[in-house]
Structures are given as C-alpha cells and as structure tokens.
Structure 1
Amino acid sequence: MSLLEIRNLTVRFATASGWFTAVEGVDLSVEKGEIVAIVGESGSGKSVSMLAVMGLLPPTAQVTADVLAFDGKDLLTISPAERRALTGADMAMIFQEPMSSLNPCFTVGFQIEEALRLHLGLNKRQARDRAVELLTQVGIPSPAQRLSAYPHQLSGGMSQRVMIAMAIACDPRLLIADEPTTALDVTIQAQILDLLVDLQERRGMALILITHAMGVVAETAQRVVVQYAGWQVEKQDVYGLFDHPHHPYTAALLTALPERAVEGTRLASIPGVVPGQFDKPSGCLFHPRCPRADQRCVEVRPVPAGPELGEAVCHYPLGGAR
C-alpha cells in the first residue's frame, strides 16, 4: 500500500461568477522513502493539489477525489480532530515564503515548541531541548540563542531552516516542500536542497518537492509529475522524463533549460501564458502554445496515453504514432 494515494483529485473554488476549477483529475501515489517532484509554471495547480492533501484550503474550496488517502486513512472522511492530529505530525509541509510563513508575533522557540507540546505531549523543558536539537540538525549556529529570536531578526535562509525544523519536529512520514528555495540566493538554495535530501535519506521519510526548476528535479527526484493549468499532463521516472519527454509541454520546459541552450542562439521559451479562470481554451489546454496543435487539439479534450508514453494527456504524444 502506498503511503499517499490520490486518484482523480479535483479542486474547485467558489467565486462571484460561479465555480473555478483549479485542479482536475490529478492521480499520484507516493511510496515510503520516495522523492517525487511536481513541476510546472506558476498557475499550474501544484501548490493547490498539495494544500488539498494537507487540508489547508479555505472554506471556499471544494475538494473531491475517488481516492485521497494517507497510509490507508481516508482524508476526505476523517474527523477534524483526526485531521489535526495527522497534520504537522505524520504529514508536514514547508511553505513557499519563509519570511511570511512564520508568525512575526512569536519567537522561533515558541513556534517550534508549540508543535512538540501539542503532538508529542512534551513538557516545556523537553520541548526546548528538542527544539535546540532540531535547529542543530538544520545547521543553525548558536541554536539555544536563536530560540529567543523573532522572525524579523533572521535572514531568508535562516527562516527557511527554521521552517524545515518545524516541519520535521514530529518525525513526519511525508514531507511536502513547496518551492522551498523561493526568494533565496543561489548558494543558499543549494544548501537548503542538500539539507532536505540529507534529512529525507537519514529519516527515511517520503518527500514531495514542488518546484518549477527542472535542474532541481534532475538532482533530487526519483519520479516526476508535470502539471499544466490544473491538469496532470505527464508522469515518468526522472531519467525517462529528461531523456524521452512525451508531452509537448514537458519537452518545451526541458528545451528552455539554460543548460540545453546552443551557443550563439537565443534561449528557447514557451510563447504565451498559463490560462486562468476566464480564458481556459476548449479542447487541450496547451493547444494555444503548442507548435504541434491541429484542429482536433482545439476541439477535443485529450485523454491520458499509456504508461509507455508517460500517461501524457495529449492527442499526439512525442514518441507515439500521429
């Protein structure tokens, strides 16, 4: 049994003009100790999918799925008390913006110790000792002194390390990292990624890495899920995806990597933008930006191909018959 099982996940939001579908038909399974990356441009529904798993979407959201289960527990039907016990303990999440994810009104120590007291039942002294141990693990110098610091007194990289310490405090079996290196400089990004992979290996937890950086995916992930405009358009192991992408969108993302640029030519790009609430096209959502699109793509919604073609949601997957 997979640690996390998702089948046909759909997330809609109530708006003044009706329902807006942000995520549709996402299928994903994550095994114990596995690293899975979810990639795509901003607006592809990556974060929304995982916030639905965590139960952290606003009341305006409607979440439906054929299966949404963690370690056999149905996340759609468990009670609020069971959900609170699960979130932060067995499942944890690192959010995009460390500077805004921490509460500015409380010290770092209070915010780490709160989770330890609530989920593990530690007393004040035990929680403080554990918090010092966690800050040491994530590479923060003078950890005992840092516990009394407020978030505004920390750098971006230091704040992200505190967020990681909070996320791993209760030894979760699944850690979701949502763009964990956003707004950090390049050297700090590398340190944070190395830290996450090291923690994942030492603790044996499953890691879902949400990112739009394909280079990060190549270095860390075992399997990759590609999302576009709320659709899951391809799923492959990392080597297969980089060597033989099957969806034109995946191929375009890889072609746009600076590492694949040809000297003396312009860096490749994908024309247009990800469609939003009011401009979603008919047929294939990617067809306005796809050089392979024809009238069938404009009129008919594609269905997923077989596993041998990366389950690409495309009428004409690369490597298949046209």
Structure 2
Amino acid sequence: MALLRIRNLSVEFATATGQFRAVDGVDQDVNESEILAIVGESGSGKSVSMLAVMGLLPWTATVTADEMTFDGQDLLKIDPAARRKIIGKDMAMIFQEPMSSLNPCFTVGWQIREALRKHLKMGRQERQTRAIELFEQVGIPDPEKRLSAFPHQMSGGMNQRVMIAMAIACKPKLLIADEPTTALDVTIQAQILDLLAKLRDENGMGLVLITHDMGVVAETAERVSVQYAGQKIEEQPVMPLFRTPHHPYTSALLDALPERATEKRLPTIPGVVPGQFDRPAGCLFSPRCKFATDKCRTDPPPPLGPDLGYARCFYPLNVDERVAS
C-alpha cells in the first residue's frame, strides 16, 4: 500500500470574480523510501496540491478528492486534533519561503525545540542536544550560538537550513520539500540533497521534491510527475522521462535545459500558463503547443496508459510502434 495515495484531487479558490481551479483532478502515489519529483512552471499547482494534503490552505480554498490517505489514515475524514498529531511529526514540509514561514517573534532554537517538545515529548536538555545535532546536519556553523538568533538576524540561506532542520527534526515518514535548495549555494545544495537521501535510506522516509531544477531531478528523483495549469500531464521514472518524454510540454521543458542546447539561444516555450479567465476548452497546453490541432483546442484529452507515461495528449511523442499497436 502506498504511503500517500491521492485520487482526483481538486482545489478551488474563491475570488472576487468567481471560483479559480488551481488543482484539477490530480492523482498521485508516494511509496515508502521513494523520491518523487513534481516539476512544472510557476502556477502549475505543485505547491497547492501538497498544501492541500497537509491541510494548510486558507479558508478560501475548497478541497475535494475521491481519496486522500496517508499511512492508512483517511485525510478527508480525519478531525483537526488528529491531523495536528500527524503534521510536523509523521508528515512534514520544507516551505519555499523561510522568512514568511518562521515566526519572527521567537528564536529559531525555540521553534525547533517546541516541535520536539510537542511531538516527541523530549526533556529540556534532550531537546537542546537534538537541536544542536540538527543544525550541524544542515551545515549551520556555530550551532549553539545560532539557536539563540531570531530569523531576521540570519540570512535567507541560513533560514532555509533552519526550515530543513525543523522539517526533519521528528524523522517524518513523508517529507514534502518545496524548492528546498533555492536560496543555497551549489555546495550546500549538494549537502542538503545528500542529507535528505541519507534520511530516506535510514528511516524509509518518502520524499516529495517540488522543484524547477531538472538537474536536481535527474540526480535525486526516482519518479517524476509533470504538472501544468493544475493538471498532472505526465509521469514516468526519471530516466525514461528524460530519454523519451511523451507530452509536448515535458519535451519543451527538457529542450530548454542548457546542456541540451544545440544553438546559442536557448529554446523557450511561448506564452504563459493559463489563468482564471483564459483556460482553453480543450487541452490546456494547446495555445502554446506547436503540434496542436483543432481537436486539441476543443476536446480535453484523457490520460493515456502507463506505457505512455499517463500523458494527457491526443498525439504523444516518442511512441514506440509496439505501444501504438
């Protein structure tokens, strides 16, 4: 059984001009000890879908799903008190913006120790020892001194490391990492990714990696889910996806990688991700797709089978003749 299982997840936000669907019918599984990468442009619903799983969306959001279970527990029916026991302990998240996620009124050490007190019932000295150990793990120098600092007294990169330390403090069963290495230099990025992989190996932790960095995906992930305009449009193991993408959007993302460029100018994807008022009637990628036909513009394509990466496309790319037949 999957550690996290999601079926037909949709998230709508109430706006002054009506409802906006940010996540549209997403299915997702995450297994124990698996690293799943979710990629896509900004506005594709990557973070929103995982925040819905965590129960951290604002009151303006309406979350619906046919199924949403974590470690055998139904997240759609669970009461708030039971959810609070899970979030931060068994399921944790590294947020994208550390300065808006850390409480400016408390020291970073207090915030880590509070999580340890609440979830693991540790004593004072035990919490202090564990906090120092966590800061050392994420590469924060002089950890005892840094524990007494407030978030505004630390750099963005240091606060990002504090967020990572808080997320892994209770050794969660599932860790959702939303752009965990954005504010870090390349050396620290590698250290953090190695640390997350080590935790996965030691604890059997499932890891969801939300990122724009396809290099990180290639080096770290085992399976890749591509999202566009709120929909999952393709999913494959990492090597087959890089070698034979089936959706034109996935192919365009990979073509834009500098290491794949054959000309001086990098290829780009024209246009923007559709918003509330310009969503196409058919395939959501059709206004930007060079392969789109009239059928693509009028009819929404259903997901294809696993042999074609569940691609939402009428005309998938790199189709093996045996699959097509």
Tell me the TM-score range normalised by the shorter chain: over 0.9
User: What is the correspondence of 1:94-173 to structure 2 with a 5 Å cutoff?
Assistant: 94-173=94-173
| Aligned amino acid, residue 310 of structure 2 | E
Look up the match of 2:285: 286
Look up the SS of the partner of 1:319 in the other structure. coil
Pairwise CA distance, 1:201: 2.6
Look up the match of 2:48: 48
Look up the match of 1:192: 192
How far apart are the structure 2 equivalents of 1:159 and 1:232?
Answer: 31
Pairwise CA distance, 1:99: 2.7
- Does the 8 A contact of 2:137 with 2:195 survive in 1? no
Pairwise CA distance, 1:199: 2.9
Instruction: Give me the TM-score of the superposition, normalised by structure 1.
Output: 0.96
| Aligned amino acid, residue 20 of structure 2 | F
How far apart are the structure 1 equivalents of 2:97 and 2:14?
Answer: 25
Pairwise CA distance, 1:183: 3.5
Indicate how the Cα distance of structure 1 residues 154 and 195 shifts in structure 2: closer, same or farther if over 3 A, else same. farther
Look up the SS of the partner of 2:202 in the other structure. helix
| Aligned amino acid, residue 158 of structure 2 | M
Look up the match of 2:294: 295
User: What is the correspondence of 1:1-322 to structure 2 with a 5 Å cutoff?
Assistant: 1-262=1-262, 264-320=263-319
Pairwise CA distance, 1:155: 2.2
How far apart are the structure 2 equivalents of 1:290 and 1:191?
Answer: 38
| Aligned amino acid, residue 214 of structure 1 | M
User: Root-mean-square deviation (CA), in Å?
Assistant: 1.5
How far apart are the structure 2 equivalents of 1:183 and 1:272?
Answer: 27
How far apart are the structure 1 equivalents of 2:16 and 2:57?
Answer: 18
TM-superposition CA deviations, 1:202-258 (whole Å, max 9, x none): 332110000111111001000000000001000100011000000000000000000
Pairwise CA distance, 1:315: 0.8
- Does the 8 A contact of 1:35 with 1:209 survive in 2? yes
Look up the SS of the partner of 2:232 in the other structure. strand
Pairwise CA distance, 1:301: 0.5
How far apart are the structure 1 equivalents of 2:283 and 2:312?
Answer: 8
How far apart are the structure 2 equivalents of 1:111 and 1:260?
Answer: 43
How far apart are the structure 2 equivalents of 1:14 and 1:245?
Answer: 35
Look up the SS of the partner of 1:44 in the other structure. coil
Q: How many residues align?
A: 321
TM-superposition CA deviations, 1:55-86 (whole Å, max 9, x none): 00001111111110001100010000000000
- Does the 8 A contact of 1:304 with 1:314 survive in 2? yes
Pairwise CA distance, 1:185: 3.7
- Does the 8 A contact of 2:164 with 2:180 survive in 1? no
Look up the SS of the partner of 1:246 in the other structure. coil
How far apart are the structure 1 equivalents of 2:264 and 2:132?
Answer: 51
Instruction: Give me the TM-score of the superposition, normalised by structure 2.
Output: 0.95
How far apart are the structure 2 equivalents of 1:203 and 1:145?
Answer: 29
How far apart are the structure 2 equivalents of 1:112 and 1:260?
Answer: 42
Q: Which runs of 5+ in 1 are unaligned?
A: none
Look up the SS of the partner of 2:209 in the other structure. strand
TM-superposition CA deviations, 1:73-129 (whole Å, max 9, x none): 000100000000000000000001223321121111100011111111123222222
Question: Which range is displaced more, 204-213 or 121-130?
Answer: 121-130
How far apart are the structure 2 equivalents of 1:26 and 1:278?
Answer: 21
Question: Which range is displaced more, 307-316 or 17-26?
Answer: 17-26
Look up the SS of the partner of 1:239 in the other structure. helix
Look up the SS of the partner of 1:232 in the other structure. strand
